[in-house]
Structure 1
Amino acid sequence: MNIAILSNVNVTHVINEIKKIQEFDVYTPNGYGIWLEEIINPFSELYNFEPEVVFFLLDGSELFERLGFEHALERLEIIVNKAKVNKNIHFFIPEIDVWDKRIIPNDELSQGRIFEEAWNKKVYDSVSLLSNIHVIKLKSIVEYIGRKDFYSDKLWYLGGIKFSNLAVKYIIDEIKILVKAYKKERKKVLIIDLDNTLWGGVVGEVGVSGIELSDFKEGRRFKDFQNRIKEMKETGVILAIASKNNENDVKEVFENHKDMVLEWDDIVSKKINWENKVVNIKQIAEELNLGIDSFVFIDDSPMERELVKENLPCEVPDFPTDTSQLNNFAIEIYRKYFYTLRITEEDKKKTQMYLAESKREELKKSVKNIDEFLESLEMKMKIWKAKPEDVSRIAELTQKTNQFNLTTIRLTEAEVLERMEDENYDVYLASVEDKFGDYGKVLLAFVKKNQKEKTAEIENILMSCRVFGRNLELQFLEYIQERLEKEGIEKIYGKYIPTAKNKPAEDFYERMGYRLIDSKDGIKTYEQDIQNRTVIRSYARLEYEN
């Protein structure tokens, strides 16, 4: 992955550490004073390098002292304008910290403070307008470790190096977290224990009124912990419970304890019984139709954690022995496993989507056969050619979809944009809803056309596991075929490339009547004469946008 680092101070020690990370190819200009020229010049080495992301490690004090208020803000405006015309590059602009060391009277407001606030406001305003501008929170790191530890006067006066070795460690960690979030590699499910985890004490022994959960003293640490978990849920993290307990006792806590932050319906899957937790976690995975490697398990018991670690491929962080650290522990869990650059509409709806799925399962049990079930869902599928506001979700689908993913091509937002702007590509997206709720944007196709040869290649079709078993993937391709035929395409090609997880997609083209024309090392190539395509049974009412 190509990343670039630009700075107005010497950050050689940061660059040296980043270059040790194997996944990164790093560009930085020769000389820290030419960062602005690199951005302005469209033929600079920066753009020749073709970075996916650019990190600006700008020192606020140097910006303010050398350029002054207005000129420094003009530099920020230049960065924003370059982001507008380079949509395939993601720019991480810093919250800056200005350590104004000038001697001024006590009651006089520091001009550095005013500049700092103006800069940071403009950065966040730009984030809200452009999808390829993000924040690197240098100011937050400074606040966390303190200015005396973040900056090094000795390194500054000796070599123009502003940031201390401790600061470098935190900056590197921040860059790794941001890149992971940019690549949408976060986990999906947080499974939590209850006794001595969500609250203090064992509810079966001390009762609802006896547990530690309050606005003060010991109980406050657990309430703060719940607040952070609730906030994670609001970013799209799916919550589940695996607890050895009596469900009636637990439900009473959720419904009647005045200091409970989490609500019963915040939890998508609840395994509250005396069963082995490995078994319970497997059942949660089956219910949610998600891989266990996308789970994070939190439990105060070392024995339970070790059992899960030995038997399942989920993440199992150590639980703090000092529960006063629970709040920090929750923040660490979020940053390490669930960090996200932005919240999408899909994220906001995620818990409700999974709760609706349980109602569908109840309906499924009450009908005679699968056809009756699918008809009774009253599904509606809306298909459209992808728009700029879809880019984030499209990239997320390519990164996270494993089971129904024909070629498993992983794409960044920049790569998605390249395809959308290529006149030879069609990028189709579909959302689905039924009488229980909205599944969101769940089907995606990349089609590369050759108008001269009157052929089209399906680069990939993928579908979220939320809508498995509904024939929607067949109806989706059927519609794409109709569109291609209207555009003069006569033959379609497609591939299936096997992975450890995409077995459910293996027979997709065969179900659509495509002919197998090549098979080597498990990779299958198919073709279809578009006029001879198979007619499939449809269960969803179709709408096409534009």
Structure 2
Amino acid sequence: MGENTNSKDLLKILQSLENDKLNAIEKIHVAVITNVNLRPIFDIYLKHFLLQSKIDAEISFLDFDDFFVRIYSQQSKLFHHEYDYILVLPNNYTFNDHLFRIPYQLEDKKLVNEIELVKQNLQLFLQTIRNESDAIILWHLFEMPVNPIVLTNSNINNAPYHIIKDLNYFIEYELTKRNNSFVIDTNTLFHRFGSDFMYDKRQWHLSQLPYSKGGCRELTRYIASYIRIFIGKAKKCLVLDCDDLLWGGIVGEEGISNVHLSPFYPGSFYYEFQQEVLNFYNRGILIALCSKNNEPDVIDMLQNHPHMLIKEYHLAAHEINWDDKASNITKIAKKLNISLDSIIFMDDTELEIHQVRKLLPEVRAIHMPREKPHLFKDKLLEEYDLSNHSLTTEDINRTKMYQEEEKRQNDRSLKSKESVEDYLKSLEMKVEISMASEMNISRVAQLTQKTNQFNLTTIRCTEDDVKALCNNEHYDVIVIKLEDRFGNLGVIGTSFIRYGDDTAEIEQFILSCRALGRSIEKILLAYIIKRVKSKGLKQIIGKYRVSPKNQQTSLFYQKNGFQKIDIEGNYTNFHCELSNYANLEQWRNWIECRSLI
């Protein structure tokens, strides 16, 4: 559960911020619009949690009430800076004292009018922000009352519970109508940690700071996870120990019939933990096992225990042996072709956690005390970085795709004496190239957010960004799908093309790591050039922006007939005269292509 935080902890974090900034590789500007005093605790924690992912955030606080005054006075410029994210955190009681504190004193007609006025103001406020800025809006919903007084199904319409619920539904609806506008519902945090932990009533009366230090910590950790997901820093894989985590006891010593695992006490702790793990699995998170054990004992448990929920087919990888866990986690990352910083590791042994933290600092290693199995589920749910903004077909089938990839690798090992071309022919690959559609917009956005290796510009996009480009007559958003004899990999690449008078620019060129080494990138580039030629344009510009993980793509354009022409800010531009372009289409010998553009 949430950690109690004292002033020494906060001071330690504050002192570390400057050193942490030196390692930052992303810089963002965040505006916080609020009607309460959140400084300095809120911004210290928010900076701290973002810097853990090497994101340096400059945070500006704007007064909510002052913002309204400026809106009504029709000031021409409400924002004096360009922001990447705008957090809106209105506090119930300072927002409308009558409505949230003493609604029972209002007559029905006045109450209805008051609620309608609040909705009009919220609508105006949101629309003004959207008109003034392209930043991603994260709106913190009104917090539900700690003591609702009436039953939630009561027909007393002036109860604070009903008023806040109605306004929150209204805010959610208004956000869905606007691009890049999202809800942050922190009521789940207050439910999980409790109001005594989250609030500090003394500080509220002293300084209008509503939250305790621990409350600020959890709130900012939750908000930081949203931002990290947009930037492509979400976690992808949950690596789990087995004994005293997935079941109670040591299976190698006690046998599968004597460990604790069932829907009933004491096995229920582990049973509900496995249920929650599978919820993450069904949302596209990869599940792997890393256990010091005899592999046959664990496999026997997976296959034969009547209450074992996690099965072999749920696992993207497993390393069950007596090697050190840091080495095994490294093997898992290599096998899945993911970076270590996309892994969360959970173990009941503090020594193992300490070793992983020391040897693999990129991995988030979490100690799950074996004497407190009742907290396992909650500790898992507190890992907000395992969340997704949306669920795609590729998410649902992700583990299956990794299992198919393992079959490909095993097949490649058996055919190690074959040439690369002969092996690629044996895969019986088929690709389909088309324009992005409503069916795969979520996947396209996800590729921009999560792909780091073969991503030439690392520009992160939301679904709304992609939709806007799809509807822009000056852009093409192209997707490429792949399947072979082992399975369907779905949408594995995308490219955004912007058209000028006689020149096209490749603003995005992305390929999933699962499709590397097959010449798929050459196919996509060839069809882009064919598309640009069909529009009568004479030249094309490819853009490249270096990042910590995409250096392998730095020569991509030069290897495919482009010439480096200049450097523009963080971007290197490569140029190709289409009349001189000669694509060497060896890939046609081993890939069947279908173009819908």
Identify whether the pair has TM-score above 0.5, normalized to the shorter chain. Answer: yes
Is 2:38 the partner of 1:13?
Answer: yes
Q: Which amino acid aligns with 2:31?
A: A
Correspondence 1:135-534 to 2 at 5 A: 135-147=183-195, 150-151=198-199, 162-163=210-211, 167-312=215-360, 313-324=362-373, 325-332=375-382, 334-335=383-384, 337-365=385-413, 368-386=418-436, 392-410=442-460, 425-451=475-501, 454-494=502-542, 501-515=549-563, 526-532=574-580, 533-534=582-583
Question: Offset of 1:231 from its aligned partner?
Answer: 1.6
Are 1:193 and 1:299, in contact at CA under 8 Å, matched by a contact in 2? yes
**How many residue pairs end up in the alignment?**
538
Write the distance in 1 (CA, Å) between the matches of 2:37 and 2:185.
Answer: 20
Are 1:381 and 1:432, in contact at CA under 8 Å, matched by a contact in 2? yes
User: Which residue number in structure 2 is paired with residue 541 of structure 1?
Assistant: 592
Write the distance in 2 (CA, Å) between the matches of 1:339 and 1:418.
Answer: 24
Question: Offset of 1:540 from its aligned partner?
Answer: 3.5
Instruction: Please identify, of 151-160 and 399-408, the stretch whose mean Cα deviation from structure 2 is larger.
Output: 151-160
Question: Offset of 1:116 from its aligned partner?
Answer: 2.5
Q: Which amino acid aligns with 2:29?
A: N
Write the distance in 1 (CA, Å) between the matches of 2:272 and 2:453.
Answer: 37
Percent sequence identity is 28
Going from structure 1 to structure 2, the CA distance change for 1:71 and 1:40 (only over 3 Å counts) comes to: same
Q: Which amino acid aligns with 2:32?
A: I
User: Which residue number in structure 1 is paired with residue 117 of structure 2?
Assistant: 71
In angstroms, what is the RMSD of aligned CA positions?
Answer: 3.9
Deviations 1:96-134 (A, max 9, x none): 235398998998746222223323344455666666332
- Normalised TM-score (structure 2): 0.77
Are 1:18 and 1:24, in contact at CA under 8 Å, matched by a contact in 2? no
User: Which residue number in structure 1 is paired with residue 87 of structure 2?
Assistant: 55
Write the distance in 1 (CA, Å) between the matches of 2:335 and 2:148.
Answer: 61
Are 1:242 and 1:277, in contact at CA under 8 Å, matched by a contact in 2? yes
Q: Which amino acid aligns with 1:292?
A: L
Write the distance in 2 (CA, Å) between the matches of 1:182 and 1:517.
Answer: 31
Q: Which amino acid aligns with 1:71?
A: L
Write the distance in 2 (CA, Å) between the matches of 1:16 and 1:279.
Answer: 38
Instruction: Please identify, of 136-145 and 13-22, the stretch whose mean Cα deviation from structure 2 is larger.
Output: 13-22
User: Which residue number in structure 1 is paired with residue 22 of structure 2?
Assistant: none
Unaligned runs of 5+ in 1: none
Going from structure 1 to structure 2, the CA distance change for 1:103 and 1:362 (only over 3 Å counts) comes to: closer
Going from structure 1 to structure 2, the CA distance change for 1:200 and 1:510 (only over 3 Å counts) comes to: same
Question: Offset of 1:411 from its aligned partner?
Answer: 5.4
Write the distance in 2 (CA, Å) between the matches of 1:236 and 1:127.
Answer: 25
Write the distance in 2 (CA, Å) between the matches of 1:25 and 1:401.
Answer: 25
Write the distance in 1 (CA, Å) between the matches of 2:146 and 2:334.
Answer: 57
Is 2:142 the partner of 1:96?
Answer: yes
Going from structure 1 to structure 2, the CA distance change for 1:512 and 1:133 (only over 3 Å counts) comes to: same
Are 1:221 and 1:323, in contact at CA under 8 Å, matched by a contact in 2? no
Question: Offset of 1:354 from its aligned partner?
Answer: 1.1
Are 2:498 and 2:507, in contact at CA under 8 Å, matched by a contact in 1? yes
- SS where residue 296 of structure 2 aligns? helix
Write the distance in 2 (CA, Å) between the matches of 1:351 and 1:219.
Answer: 27
Going from structure 1 to structure 2, the CA distance change for 1:275 and 1:43 (only over 3 Å counts) comes to: same
- SS where residue 200 of structure 1 aligns? coil
Question: Offset of 1:392 from its aligned partner?
Answer: 5.0
Going from structure 1 to structure 2, the CA distance change for 1:159 and 1:268 (only over 3 Å counts) comes to: closer
Going from structure 1 to structure 2, the CA distance change for 1:294 and 1:175 (only over 3 Å counts) comes to: closer
Instruction: Please identify, of 192-201 and 138-147, the stretch whose mean Cα deviation from structure 2 is larger.
Output: 138-147
Write the distance in 2 (CA, Å) between the matches of 1:481 and 1:24.
Answer: 38
Going from structure 1 to structure 2, the CA distance change for 1:510 and 1:296 (only over 3 Å counts) comes to: same
- SS where residue 242 of structure 2 aligns? coil
Q: Which amino acid aligns with 1:120?
A: N
Write the distance in 1 (CA, Å) between the matches of 2:548 and 2:212.
Answer: 44
Unaligned runs of 5+ in 2: 1-27, 48-55, 100-110
Q: Which amino acid aligns with 1:211?
A: V
Going from structure 1 to structure 2, the CA distance change for 1:187 and 1:151 (only over 3 Å counts) comes to: closer
Write the distance in 2 (CA, Å) between the matches of 1:503 and 1:159.
Answer: 49
Going from structure 1 to structure 2, the CA distance change for 1:420 and 1:116 (only over 3 Å counts) comes to: same
Going from structure 1 to structure 2, the CA distance change for 1:104 and 1:186 (only over 3 Å counts) comes to: closer
